[in-house]
Amino acid sequence: MLNFVYDNKTELIFGKGTQHEVGQRLKVFNKKVLLHYGGGSIKRTGLYNDVVKSLKDAHVDYVELGGVQPNPVLTKVHEGIELCRKEDVGIILAVGGGSVIDSAKAIALGFGYDGDVWDFYLSKEEPTHTPLPVATILTIPAAGSESSPNTVISNEETRRKLGYGSGKLRPVFSIINPELFCTLPHHQMANGISDMMSHIFERYFTRTLHTDLSDSLCEATLRIIMKNARILNNNLYDYDAWAEIAFCGNIAHNNLLGIGREQDWACHAMEHEMSAIYHVAHGAGLSVITPAWMKYVAPKHREMFLQFAVNVMGIDGSYRSGDTLIREAILRLTNFYKELGLPVTMEELGITAQYFSRMAEQATNVDGTIGSLEKLTMEDVKQIYKLACRS
């Protein structure tokens, strides 16, 4: 196990009806709030009215900025920074999924910075200033941004989608009410499942030895996600299944499962290039690229993939050869994605080989390689994109 420091300051307020507490919880900050949200789902579901009532009842002053799009963009972030400065905002409330929360974090980061906030996404440097605090009401369990230190933003001009992380960006509190997820369309549920599973895979597949506890936590969380995803696949209104999924989705990316181990993140790097150019949903991109990555790297890391086959995919290891077992595990994962209606080939996403070279070049252009289980060069990444053309 590697040395680690684990610090997760986000207070979680979990359960039925908890969105009604938001006004009282923000009141203690005694600051003007930016109410930040997406393309309108919160108005259709009635959540917007609940939030506004709670703010008004608690006499919390606020301004609002909606219209964050999935795969949030830099121009909206700039608009938010300007509004916060003009209105002397002191805290941002993001009501939405990963896109709204990431946009809020970017605004929070850019607020006290003289240059362009995009500088941080390029340089990855720690800010010397203190960003505005961010609080959230989560409406889709998926990205884990409700307690992660990360934000992912797309720059429309350069067509780059880049992530940035700093402990200073972890939300101060996040309200997670699984009742709010019952309005999600089926495909968004599936995208979320794919994303949270990937957050675990990125941590689970590691070269680090002696990680028994976090291995087992990863395996248990993956099994619980698959079990409850199958329940939601038949009934999107099952509160208890959503509660399990929301808890798993949070743990999948609050880094509890990743501490003390080398992490990979190659699939996320490859997927971000797909989203940047083709605007595909992040979870849908991951269900295409993950099995291809597994097929490519598994032969060199058989022990890790055998453990995955037996402990996660539930394959009886006693009578098959190792290679058959690994192939079957990847096939079962692919079939699980299909069961949820997720795409498993580039073609299903409308992606052709046209930009594979450019995508591979951009994915690897910071350090020359991505990933840690297996360091992937630009050529490797191109091969994986090609592998993802068929299931």
| Gyration radius of the chain over CA positions | 20
| H or E segment and range at residue 189 | helix 186-204
Among 10, 103, 136, 148, binds ligand NZQ (CB under 6 A): 148
Strand partners for 161:
154
- Are the beta carbons of 168 and 110 closer than 8 angstroms? no
Of the candidates 139, 47, 33, which has an alpha carbon nearest to the alpha carbon of residue 87?
A: 33
In the complex with ligand NZQ, which residue's Cβ is closer, 214 or 255? 255
Partner whose binding site includes residue 131, from ligand NZQ, Zn ion, none (CB under 5 to 8 Å by kind): none
Q: Which two tokens stand for residue 224?
A: 């619980």
Please report how close the Cβ of residue 328 comes to ligand NZQ at its closest, in angstroms: 27
Q: Would you count residue 70 as binding ligand NZQ (CB under 6 A)?
A: yes
Residue 266 contacts ligand NZQ per CB under 6 A = no
Q: How far is CA 2 from CA 54, 98, 148, 301, 346, in A?
A: 45, 29, 20, 20, 36
**Which of 54, 103, 155, 188 touches ligand NZQ by CB under 6 A?**
188
- Count of residues engaged in binding ligand NZQ, rule: CB under 6 A: 36
Measured in degrees and rounded to the nearest 5, phi and psi for residue 98 equal -55, -35
290 part of the interface to ligand NZQ, by CB under 6 A: no
**Residue 144 is a binding residue for ligand NZQ (CB under 6 A):** yes
**Binding-site member from 102, 195, 264, 380 for Zn ion (CB under 5 A):** 195
Residue 192 binding: pick among Zn ion, ligand NZQ, none (C-beta 5-8 Å cut-off by kind) = ligand NZQ
Among 10, 54, 71, 364, indicate the residue that binds ligand NZQ (CB under 6 A). 71
Q: How far is the CB of 198 from Zn ion (least distance, A)?
A: 6
CB-wise, 47 or 94, nearer to Zn ion?
94
Please report whether residue 18 would count as binding ligand NZQ according to CB under 6 A: no
Q: How far is the CB of 216 from ligand NZQ (least distance, A)?
A: 23
Residues 6+ apart with CB under 8 A from 245: 141, 178, 181, 192, 193, 196, 225, 228, 229, 232
Q: Which residue's CB is nearer to ligand NZQ, number 45 or number 345?
A: 45
Among 203, 268, 301, 382, binds ligand NZQ (CB under 6 A): 268
The stretch near ligand NZQ (CB under 6 A) out of 135-143, 214-222, 321-329, 367-375 is 135-143
**Partner that binds at residue 232, options ligand NZQ, Zn ion, none, CB closer than 5 to 8 Å by kind:** none
Rounded to 5°, the CA angle 124-281-373 comes to: 55
Q: What is the three-class DSSP state of 215? A: helix
Q: In this structure, what token pair is assigned to residue 274? A: 């797909």
Asked whether position 146 contacts Zn ion by CB under 5 A, the answer is no
Segment 87 to 106, residues that bind ligand NZQ, using CB under 6 A: 96-100, 102
- Tokens for 378, please give them: 């630009």
β-pair partners for 153 = 162
* Neighbour tally for 228: CB within 10 Å: 21
Q: Are strands 134-138 and 160-165 parallel, antiparallel or unpaired?
A: unpaired
- Smallest CA-to-CA distance from 332 within 269, 302, 290 is with 290
Half-sphere exposure of 28 (CA within 13 A, CB side): 8
Q: Does 215 bind Zn ion (CB under 5 A)?
A: no
Q: Which of 54, 103, 136, 145 binds ligand NZQ (CB under 6 A)?
A: 145
**Site for ligand NZQ, rule CB under 6 A:** 38-42, 45, 70-71, 96-100, 102, 139-140, 142-145, 148, 150-152, 180-181, 183-184, 188, 191-192, 195, 253, 268, 282-283
**Site for Zn ion, rule CB under 5 A:** 195
